[in-house]
Amino acid sequence: MNRMRWTGLLVAVLVFLLDQWTKYYVTGPLGLNVQDASMTVLPFFGLRFVKNVGVSLGLLPATGDAMRWALVALTAAIAGGVLWWMLKERKTPDVVALGLVLGGALGNILDRTRLGYVVDFADLHFGAWRPFLVFNVADAAITIGVVILLIRALFVRDTQAVPPAPVENEVNA
């Protein structure tokens, strides 16, 4: 495996570790481990503990064990697809973006497997207006990775060296 793929795997591991550490810190030392327990950090940002039993935007809530494990299986299959894509990808920015997605997915899969829900805690708001639902490091990494992939797919044209066309010999003997 070449250096670029190791970079993607390193990004995934770092995102996973940062995600798990922040969730531990918020729910452990800071004591925000009861639904909607909160702490103001800045006028526009706070920490608020939320048990997310669904997937993105709270969709597909896992109301029972069968649905919980179905979500684990679905997200694990997606993470496996992202890993496969990352190992095949040839462009470094895309490998890094896929590493962000993979690390975030693994962090949320571990939560859902261990706890039955995903720990969300980051609450960005401007007065009463909340442009995002409460999220976590994994969610942010997944979002950033997907945005990078979309921007690159839509707006970036990677140029590859095109070999010059063969020149015919002008003098025919």
Catalytic residue among 94, 120, 123, 158: 120
139 is catalytic: yes
Q: Which two tokens stand for residue 132?
A: 């995002």
Report d(CA 96, CA 59) in Å as an integer.
27
Query: Which spans in 28-158 are helix H?
Result: 65-88, 92-115, 137-155
Q: Which residues contact 168 (CB under 8 A, 6 or more apart)?
A: none
Contact 106, 137 (CB under 8 A): no
- DSSP SS3 for 162: coil
CA separation (Å) from 21 to 17, 111, 113?
6, 12, 17
The helix or strand, by DSSP H or E, that contains position 43, with its residue range, turns out to be none
Active site residues per annotation: 120, 139
